[in-house]
Structure 1
Amino acid sequence: MKKVDFLIVGTQKSATSALFTQLAKHPKIEMSRQKELHFFDTDIYFKHKKPDYEKYHSYFSDKEKLWGEATPIYAYWEEAPKRIYEYNKKIKLIFILRDPIERAFSQWNMEKNRDTEHLSFSQALREEEQRVKEALPEQHRVYSYKDRGLYSLQIRRLLRFFSKEQILFLCYEDLKNYPILTLNKVTDFLQIEVFESLKFDTVFQTAYKSQLLYSDFLYLKKYFYNDVQEVQHLLGWKCSSWLKRKKNFKVLFYRDYRAYTGGHQVVYDYFSFFKEHPLFEVFIYFSKESCIDATNPWYNDMESRVEVYEPWEYDVLFIAGEDWKMLEDGIENYKTVINLIQGIRHTFPQTKLYKYLQKKAYKIAVSNEVANALCETQKVLSPIVTIENGIDLSNIEAQKEFEVYILGVKNVPLARELAEYFDTKNISFEVTYTKKSLQSIHTLMAKAKISVLLPFHAEGFYLPALEAMQYTDLVVVPDCIGNRTFCKNDFNVIMPPEYDFESLVVAIEKAFCVLNDNERLEEMQKNMTATYRSYSKEKQKKLFYDFLEKNII
């Protein structure tokens, strides 16, 4: 009885169709009338002691040629090697191996196009073990993205029945990049003459609708690492290139930008840090209500803006404030989430933010005070990293035009009270009641001799205090949680004993006295300079990059 002479047994998504098509052109070969007969992986054919091989042979007609068939699941299907051996002990096998990471992604794209897969690649990988249980005691034909790429087990299973001389192991990358040389290996293996003329066709290649995320690459690299080492040992190959592929992380920000705030500015700083890093591509989605004007820190970065918020398509999600509401519940179990926490109010049970503390994410606290408050809630189960905010150390050249500048956006009633007081005392001043751009605020600070700052008490890190030290002669600022690390009374700022009108007036009068005491003024300005220079954005960026290196990259 004439039998099939050789089989292409694997692996799926490794150019088996291209090889099948090419071999069918050889005058000494007859490939089956259709690819993938699925004979040896169909259990029902083997329920009886003697399978119906005549049905299998009906796909061939010319007994003078070599018969060949290609079903790339054979190497993966546990029972197939034994069945093939019992059919033809002298059969030859061709097994094409592909980078298991690329193979898994290619299979997922195929299933996605077939509409048999509804999960993202990230989800499908991490839920595979649970999903494939549906097919037990058999293997799963659709969702086995990772399992099919564990080649060493498949190789050992084949070698249990066939000698190494009966199996030709090919590398997908060789078939793709050196088709003539690789096809000559095939004809030599089958002991037939080489192709007289050769035009190797790649078939069934379709463009992917999405890119392999770097985080998924890293996840699979770890998953396949030991198996790749075993494959190298079994075949004597060098497969290290499978584990060295480089792709950038894709990072997604979200902002609901209605007006300029210092909080938006800090988020933009982290956006800029990502943008400057060579291993990251950064994107931002704005809510439909967002204001896109010159006050928006992203105004000159609109090439990074995306029109659709699709967090599953990114490696890293950077969120702050109430951005959690934009994320699907549970996505943090599959994606890397970085949660910037800028205020103590996150730790107040009555706020909307409090419920997010238990969410899985790297928590970046802008000060030790914020980090300590987070720890004290005993709600945060994720790592907390303290990275203090920094300022731009560039100078603003401006003449002093008035005596006092009041930054009153966060306490308008008290700012108005101080403005009325200065009017009665004929003290020249400027006051800010509404949100303005950072550049505008810095310029007003630079034009004033004294800056009076009115923060919230629960500030996480009160950056204007450092900025005022940089641009103005003296700073008056009440105590708040977020400035205790760097604001020291009578050292680099003047702090009123209480946060009220009378105490502030006393502190401002004290500041005017210091302005007239050159020795004391010089000493305080020296301390102010040393303080703000120790909080540079470069330092902040370095600490953030160290965090990325340790936890993300």
Structure 2
Amino acid sequence: MKQAQTSLYPNVIIGGAPKSGTSSLFFWLGAHPEVCASKVKETYFLGDTENKHNVSANIHKDGLEAYQKFFSHSKGEKIRLEATPVYIYHKLPLKVLPTLEKVPKMIFILREPSDRLYSHWRFNRYRMKNTKMTFEDYLAFRNVPSGWADYLDHTHYIRHIQPYIDTLGKENILVYQFEQIKEDKVAFMKQVATDLGISFEFYNSFDFFHRNQTVAVKNGKLHRIGLKLEPLVPQWLQEKIIPLYLKMNSSKLPKPSDEELKLKEQSKSQFEESNQELAEKFDNVDLALWK
């Protein structure tokens, strides 16, 4: 492909993994004065196909130059940021990103595999309401709704990060763990800021706002409408509206059953080998956080 000018292309992309804190990281970084966050968090612009998530703008029908429109509000910030967590599983970014004049840094934030699987199941069962299958069926990959990807394979993270290492260079890959956020948000964001070469002091007194938490949605149709409207609402207003909306259209999730917790613990063993490979590639990955 022809080499592109990158004046308004993203130079930092949160590329995965879903249900691992990507929304929080995007908004926390986007609040930094040295960061210009994309107008839409998940652009899906480089998705492998044109789909419902990127029908308004994508590389297939609009060409690469249209990617810059997501950053037309940039005022020369050091970082132009977008976050499409499913990029970790897509092939097209691997073809397009190396053609840019400056290869962007890819951030992959990962969650302990069994926790991610359980969160993904509860998210779809209780928030999106697009499945009624049990956690046991989910782990056995039985009765999976049409169109669902192989989420078990997707949780072997290194299988999907390795192509990015091979294509973009390890120096352009940053890997973090979701558990680091839970342990100490401030320390985590200071580390990310340092790694990206922006001021870490900004997070000393930062007002963190949790994003995309899984709740039991009462009205699925209303929730889907809300998701469509969310990109149109400024971040400062979202922070005021979302808590009120969740009070109106959500309830507490059912408490995990003993059987679900047992299945969750049993599922850990299948990821031991790929977790070890990940830790060998990235020194900062602490597998003790995933015990």
CA contact (8 A) 1:152 1:227 kept: yes
Q: Deviation per CA, 1:41-99: give whole Å up to 9, x if none.
A: 24245558xx6223322121215112100011111224433333334552111110110
CA contact (8 A) 1:14 1:98 kept: yes
2:193 is aligned with 1:187:
yes
Alpha-carbon distance between aligned partners in 2 of 1:177 and 1:230, rounded to the nearest angstrom: 23
Alpha-carbon offset, residue 145 of structure 1: 2.9
Q: Which residue of 2 aligns with 1:203?
A: 211
Q: Given that residues 36 and 72 in structure 1 are in contact (C-alpha distance below 8 angstroms), is that contact kept between their aligned partners in structure 2?
A: yes
Runs of 4+ residues over 6 Å off in structure 1: none
Measured in 1, the distance between the counterparts of 2:124 and 2:173 equals 29
Q: Aligned pair 1:115/2:123, yes or no?
A: no
* 8 Å contact kept, 1:8–1:72: yes
| 2:103 corresponding residue in structure 1 | 90
TM-score by length of 2: 0.72
1:67 to 2:89 alignment: no
2:118 equivalent in structure 1: 105
Letter in 1 for 2:254: K
The 2-side partners of 1:188 and 1:145 are apart by: 32
Matched, 1:23 2:29: yes
Separation of aligned partners in 1, 2:110 and 2:101? 23
| Greater relative contact order (CA < 8 Å, ≥ 6 in sequence) | 2
Amino acid at match of 1:224: F
Asked whether the equivalents of residues 19 and 120 of structure 2 are also in contact (C-alpha less than 8 Å), the reply is yes
Q: CA deviation at 1:5?
A: 1.2
How many residue pairs get matched? 233
Cα distance, 1:143 vs structure 2: 4.7
Task: State the one-letter code of the partner of 1:120.
Answer: T
Structure 2 SS opposite 1:59:
helix
1:522 aligned partner: none
Mapping of residues 474-553 of structure 1, within 5 Å: none
Task: Map 1:213-362; keep pairs closer than 5 Å.
Answer: 213-236=260-283, 237-242=285-290, 244=291
In structure 1, C-alpha distance between the alignment counterparts of 2:287 and 2:95, rounded to whole Å: 28
Larger radius of gyration: 1
Q: Deviations over 1:315-334 (max 9, x none)?
A: xxxxxxxxxxxxxxxxxxxx
1:337-416 correspondence to structure 2 within 5 Å:
none
2: distance between equivalents of 1:194 and 1:201? 18
Which segments of 5 or more consecutive residues in structure 2 lack a partner in the other structure?
Answer: 51-57, 216-252
2:138 alignment counterpart:
124
Q: Does 1:144 align with 2:150?
A: yes
The SS at the match of 2:151 is coil
- SS at 1:93 equivalent: strand
Q: Are the equivalent residues in 2 in contact too, given 1:105–1:145 (CA < 8 A)?
A: no
In the TM superposition, residue 186 of structure 1 has moved relative to its aligned partner by: 1.7
**What corresponds to 2:224 in structure 1?**
none
The 3 A distance-change label for structure 1 pair 119 and 158 is same
Per-residue deviation, residues 7-29 of structure 1 (Å, max 9, x unmatched): 00111111111111111111111
Q: Is the 8 A contact 1:150 1:227 kept in 2?
A: yes
Q: CA RMSD in A?
A: 2.3
Please name the residue that 1:310 is paired with: none
For 2:87, the aligned partner's letter is: Y
Alignment equivalent of 1:174, drawn from 153, 173, 180: 180
Describe the shift of the 1:163–1:121 C-alpha distance in structure 2 as closer, same or farther (beyond 3 A): same
CA displacement, residues 407-446 of structure 1 (integer Å, 9 cap, x when unaligned): xxxxxxxxxxxxxxxxxxxxxxxxxxxxxxxxxxxxxxxx
TM-score scaled by structure 1? 0.39
Q: Retained in 1: the 8 A contact 2:113–2:268?
A: no
Would the alpha carbon gap of residues 56 and 210 (structure 1) be closer, same or farther in structure 2, given more than 3 Å must change? farther
Structure 1 residues 218 and 184: alpha-carbon distance in aligned structure 2, compared to 1, 3 A threshold: closer
Correspondence 1:9 to 2:18:
no
Which amino acid letter does the alignment assign opposite residue 76 of structure 2?
E
**8 Å CA contact 1:151, 1:231 repeated in 2:** yes
1:290-345 deviations in whole A, cap 9, x for unaligned?
xxxxxxxxxxxxxxxxxxxxxxxxxxxxxxxxxxxxxxxxxxxxxxxxxxxxxxxx
Structure 1 SS opposite 2:108: strand
Cα distance, 1:118 vs. partner?
2.1
**Secondary structure in 1 aligned to 2:273?**
helix
User: Where does residue 153 of structure 1 map in the other structure?
Assistant: 159
Using a 3 Å threshold, how does the CA distance of structure 1 residues 143 and 36 change in structure 2: closer, same or farther?
same
Cα pair distance change 1:93/1:199, threshold 3 Å: same
In 1, the alpha carbon distance for the partners of 2:104 and 2:162 equals 17
| SS of residue matched to 2:272 | helix
- Change in 2 beyond 3 A, CA 1:156/1:131: same
- Rounded Cα–Cα distance in structure 1 between residues aligned with 2:121 and 2:98: 31
Deviation at 1:189, TM superposition (A): 2.0
Distance 1:88 1:154 in 2: 24
The answer (yes or no) to whether the contact 1:37–1:70 under 8 Å persists in 2 is yes
Equivalent residues of 1:74, 1:81 under 8 A apart: no
1:143/1:47 CA distance change after superposition, 3 Å = closer
